[in-house]
Amino acid sequence: MVSVKNKLIENENFKFIGLGGSNEVGRSCHIIEFKGKTIMLDAGIHPAYRGMLSLPFYDLYDLSKVDVLLISHFHLDHVASLPYVLQKTNFKGRVIMTHPTKAIYRWLMRDFVKVTTIADEFLVRDDTSNLFTDDDLINSFDKIETIDYHSTIEISGIKITAYHAGHVLGAAMFQIDIGGINILFTGDYSRELDRHLNSAEIPNKKIDILIVESTFGTATQQPRKTREKKLTSLIHDTVKKGGRVLLPVFALGRAQEIMLILDEYWAQNNDELGFGKVPIYYASDLAKKCLNVFQTYINMMNDNIRAKFRDSKSNPFNFKHISYLKNLENFRDLGPSVMLASPGMLQSGVSREILEKWCPDFKNLVLITGYSVEGTMAKFLMMQPDTIPSYENPDVNITRKCRVEEITFAAHVDFLENLDFIEKINAKNIILVHGESTPMGRLKSALLSKFKHLKRTENEVKVYTPFNGVTVDIKFQRDKVATLVGTLFDEVTNKLSIETHNSSEVQEQDSDETEVETGIKVDGLLVNNTENFEIGLVAVDNIREFHSDLKTTIVKERQSLMVHCKKELIYWHINQMYNDIRILQDDENISHQSVRNEKVEKEKTVLKLEILNSLILTIEGNLATLEWSQSMLNDVLADSLMTILLSLDSMPISVKMTHKEHNHGDVKVEENNESLPIKEEELIENVKKMGKKEEDFIEKLTIVADLFKEQFADSFQLQLPTDLFDLDTSDIKGILNVGSHKAVIDFKTFKIEECSSNALKGRIEALLCICEDILCPII
Ligand SMILES: [Zn+2]
C-alpha cells in the first residue's frame, strides 16, 4: 500500500458537552463527539438533590447517538443514574466499567434504591419520583461489559484503554483513541499511594485532550502521614475524654482505607483502646458483602496489601478491632466509641440518625473525611451551625454542640499533584470537570500562568471550564492522508518505479539531488472508513470490488434533436468550439473531406464523436443524439453543445451550406422547420426506421423497470412478451399489486391502463414523470 500525502488539510471538530459535573461536583456526565462517534463519560446523580432533580441534564442530548458509555468508578455521583439511562431513555450504546466497579455497583445500587425509596415515600409520597426500581437495576446489570486494567477494547473503531486511577477500588482512567486523536478522561483520581490502592498511572501515549477533575482547585493537602496522625490523635483525645466519634463515610472505598488506619492504630494502642474498651463500629448492611468484594479483588490492589494478604494468609480487611453493625437496632450506646456510618454526606440513613443523637453533646466529635458536596448536611456542618434541622421533621431544630473537624482522605489529587500530572500528560487541550466554580476557576488561572510561556506558539495550552449544557469546540487540522486501493495502487507504483528509475539515472550525474519529486496525478473517489478512520483512494471501477457496501449509481443522460444541416458543418462548429474531439465513427469521411466516400448512402451514415472525453454525439441522418454520464461538469458541457446544435440552422453559414441539399430522404421534415427537439412520435418513427429500436428500448426499459422495482420491490412485476423483439405486436406491461390494489401500466406508451386506487395512481404518475425526466425523450 502506498500512502499519499495530499495537500488537503482536514478540519476535524471535537466536541465536549457537559450534561452534569461541569462547574459543579455531582451528577458527573460528559459527552464527547469526534469523527462521527459519540462517547458518554459517567452517569451520576447529584447527592444534594432528589429524584429527577438529581439527574444530569439528559434532556439536552439525544442519548440514542451514544456509541459507548464509560463509567469511571462506583461512586454515586458517577454511576447512580445508569439504570435510569439504560431503562428510561433511548440510549442504545454499550456500557463499560472495570470488574470491581461492576461488582460493587451491584451492592451499592441495591442499597441506593432502598434508601431513596424509603426517603421518597416519606418526603414526597409519590412513587413516580423514584428514578428506577429494583427490576430496572437488575436489568441494567446484564447490559454492563467489563474491561481489565491495561487492556484495550475496540468499539466501532473507538479504542478504549483502562488505567489505574487510585481513588477507590476499581476506579479507572480511560484513554480513548478515535482516529489517531487521544483523549484521556481521569475520572476522580489520586496520585497518592495509600494503604491498599495503586496510584493513578500516566499512560504511555501522546494525549491531545485531557479531561481532568478539579475538585481541590488550587488547594494543597498536608502530607498523608500528618493527616493520619491528626486523625488518630483527634479520635484518641475525644474517646479519652469520654466522647463519641462519628465518621460519616461512603459505605465502600475510602471507608476501608480509614478502617485499615484505625485497626492498625488500635493494635498499637491495644492496652488503652483494645479489648472492647473503645469499640469501633462499621454500620452498614453492605459490610459482609464488601468484605467479599474486597477479598476477591485484592489482586487489583497495591503491592503492600497483596504482600500482607500473602504473608498472613488472612484477609487484611477482616479487621480485629472493628465490629459490623447491620443497623442501629442492636447498637448499645454505652460509652465512648467510634462509629463509621454511611452515607458520607449525612443526607439521611444511619449516619444522619447518629449525628442527630450525638450532636448536642460537646464531648462528641464529627470527623468528616470525604469530599462534601455543596448543599449536603456534611457541607452545612462545616460552617459550625448552632442548630441542625431534624431529618424526620425539618421544622424541628437540634442543638449542635459537638466538635466538627475535617481531615480529608478523599483520594482526589490536590493542586500540586494535579499540576504535576497535567504537566506530565502534556496535552494541548485541557477540559476541567468535577469542581465547584471557584476552585475550578482558580485552577484554570494557575494553569494558564504556568503555561504562559507557550502562548501564541504552536504548543499553546488551552484550558476550558465549560458550564453544563455548553459545548466546547476544539478544531484539529491534520494533513489528509489517503491509502491507494486497487488498480490505482498499480498505476501509481508503475509510475513511481519509472520515475525512481529516471531519477536514479539523474543521481548518477548529480549526486546532490536526492529528493524525488513525484507529483503523480490520479483520479479516484475518497472513501472514508468509519471503522478504522482510514481514507482510501479508489478508482471508480474498483468501488464495487472493494466497497461492496457502497451503492454506486451512474446516471446516463441522452438527448436527441433534429438537425437540418450537413454533418460537415456540425463537425466544423464543434471542432471550432472544443478542439478536443475523437472520431469514433465517420462513414462519410467528413473529417477528411479530401477523400470523401461519396458512395455511402447518406441517410444511413453515422458520425460519432467523443467530445472532451466525456460527451458522445451521434449523428445519424438528421437525428443528433448526445449522451453523457451525469455530473455537474458534463451537464454544463452538454448544455453548451445542445445550444450550438440548436442554433446551427440560424447561422448564416449554415443556411448557405444546407440550402443545396434540403431533402433528407425518408425523414419527413417541413422545409422551413426550425431546429427544435422533435416530438416523441416523430422520434419513435425515426428510430424505428434506423433499425436500432429494440436495443435502445430494452436499455431504457431496464432502467425504468429498475426504478419501479426500487419503489415497489416485489409488488412490481414486469410482464414481457415471449418474443421480446417483436415490439410492434407484443405487449409490455408493468403489473403492480399493492395490498388489495392493482395497477397495470403499458410500458410501451408509459400510460396507466388501469388502477384501482387514486393514491397509488398518483404515485405511479409521479414515478413516470421521473422516468420521463431521466430518459427524455424516450423512444
Ligand atoms: Zn469519586
User: Which grid cell sits at 485?
Assistant: 486501493
**Structural domain that includes position 253:** 224-406
Spatial neighbors of 559 by CB under 8 A, at least 6 apart, are 625, 626, 638, 642, 677, 776, 777
Q: Are 539 and 574 within one domain? A: no
- Per DSSP bridges, beta strands 525-528 and 535-538 are antiparallel
3-state SS, 552-598, equals CCCCEEEEEEECCCCHHHHHHHHHHHHCCEEEEEECCCHHHHHHCCC
Q: Are 232 and 353 within one domain? A: yes
Q: What is the pLDDT of residue 555?
A: 83
Q: What is the pLDDT of residue 669?
A: 36
**Distance in Å, CA 372 to ligand 1 centroid:** 11
Q: Specify the higher pLDDT residue, 560 or 464.
A: 464
In a domain, 175, yes or no: yes
Backbone phi and psi for residue 496, each to the nearest 5 degrees, phi listed first: -60, -45
User: If we measure between CA atoms, which residue out of 533, 554, 537 comes closest to residue 546?
Assistant: 537
Distance CA 735, CA 302 (A): 75
Q: What is the pLDDT of residue 665?
A: 39
- 438-459 tens-digit pLDDT: 999 999 999 999 999 999 888 8
Q: What is the pLDDT of residue 298?
A: 82
Distance CA 248, CA 366 (A): 8
Mean pLDDT along residues 308-328: 79
- Per DSSP bridges, beta strands 338-341 and 365-368 are unpaired
Mean pLDDT along residues 13-35: 95
Q: Are 292 and 389 within one domain? A: yes
**Distance in Å, CA 242 to ligand 1 centroid:** 34
Q: Are 213 and 268 within one domain? A: no
Q: Are 491 and 389 within one domain? A: no
Q: Which residues pair with 430 in a beta bridge?
A: 210, 463
Q: Give the neighbor-by-neighbor strand order of the sheet with 741-746.
A: 716-719, 733-738, 741-746, 751-755
Q: Are 390 and 421 within one domain? A: no
**Distance in Å, CA 513 to ligand 1 centroid:** 61
Q: What is the pLDDT of residue 721?
A: 66
Q: Are 94 and 63 within one domain? A: yes
Q: What is the pLDDT of residue 552?
A: 66
Grade residue 683 by pLDDT with cuts at 50, 70 and 90: very low
Name the DSSP class of 679. Answer: P
Rg (CA), the chain: 40
Grade residue 247 by pLDDT with cuts at 50, 70 and 90: very high
Q: Are 369 and 256 within one domain? A: yes
Q: Specify the higher pLDDT residue, 737 or 160.
A: 160
**Distance in Å, CA 622 to ligand 1 centroid:** 84
| Cell 463519641 sits on residue | 244
| Contact criterion met (CB below 8 Å) for 371 and 331 | no
Determine which of 176-180, 300-304, 498-502, 739-743 has the lowest per-residue pLDDT on average. 498-502
Q: What is the pLDDT of residue 705?
A: 79
User: Which grid cell sits at 14?
Assistant: 471535537
CA dihedral 118, 121, 124, 127 (to 10 degrees): 110
Grade residue 172 by pLDDT with cuts at 50, 70 and 90: very high
| DSSP letter string, 191-222 | -S--SS-PPPP--SS--SEEEEE-TTTT----
Q: Are 596 and 464 within one domain? A: no
Q: Are 459 and 569 within one domain? A: no
Q: What is the pLDDT of residue 593?
A: 57
In a domain, 654, yes or no: yes
Q: Which residues pair with 482 in a beta bridge?
A: 4, 535
Q: Specify the higher pLDDT residue, 359 or 722.
A: 359
Spatial neighbors of 396 by CB under 8 A, at least 6 apart, are 389, 390
- List the catalytic residues: 412
User: If we measure between CA atoms, which residue out of 398, 325, 338 comes closest to residue 364?
Assistant: 338
| Contact criterion met (CB below 8 Å) for 108 and 140 | no
User: Which grid cell sits at 294?
Assistant: 474486597
Grade residue 584 by pLDDT with cuts at 50, 70 and 90: confident
**Distance in Å, CA 366 to ligand 1 centroid:** 21
Spatial neighbors of 748 by CB under 8 A, at least 6 apart, are 727, 731, 732
Determine which of 95-104, 399-408, 552-561, 687-696 has the lowest per-residue pLDDT on average. 687-696
Query: Residues of 212-223 as b/e, b for ≥16 C-beta within 10 angstroms?
Result: bbbbbbbeebee
Mean pLDDT along residues 191-199: 84
Q: What is the pLDDT of residue 508?
A: 47
Q: Are 437 and 582 within one domain? A: no
Strand blocks (E) in 630-731: 716-719
In a domain, 684, yes or no: no
- 373-394 tens-digit pLDDT: 888 899 999 999 999 999 988 8
Last residue of a domain, one of 678, 712, 745: 678
Instruction: Please count the structural domains in the chain.
Output: 5
Determine which of 110-114, 145-149, 205-209, 715-719 has the lowest per-residue pLDDT on average. 110-114
Determine which of 329-343, 403-417, 673-687, 759-773 has the lowest per-residue pLDDT on average. 673-687
**Which residues have C-beta under 5 Å from ligand 1, the single-atom ion?**
75, 188
Mean pLDDT along residues 36-58: 92
Last residue of a domain, one of 406, 426, 447: 406
Q: Specify the higher pLDDT residue, 749 or 71.
A: 71
Average pLDDT, the chain: 81
In a domain, 141, yes or no: yes
Q: Are 215 and 233 within one domain? A: no
CA 415-419-422 angle, to 5 degrees, is: 140
Asked if pLDDT for residue 277 goes beyond 50, the answer is yes
Determine which of 122-126, 246-250, 744-748 has the lowest per-residue pLDDT on average. 122-126
Q: What is the pLDDT of residue 313?
A: 67
Asked if pLDDT for residue 191 goes beyond 80, the answer is yes
Q: What is the pLDDT of residue 617?
A: 92
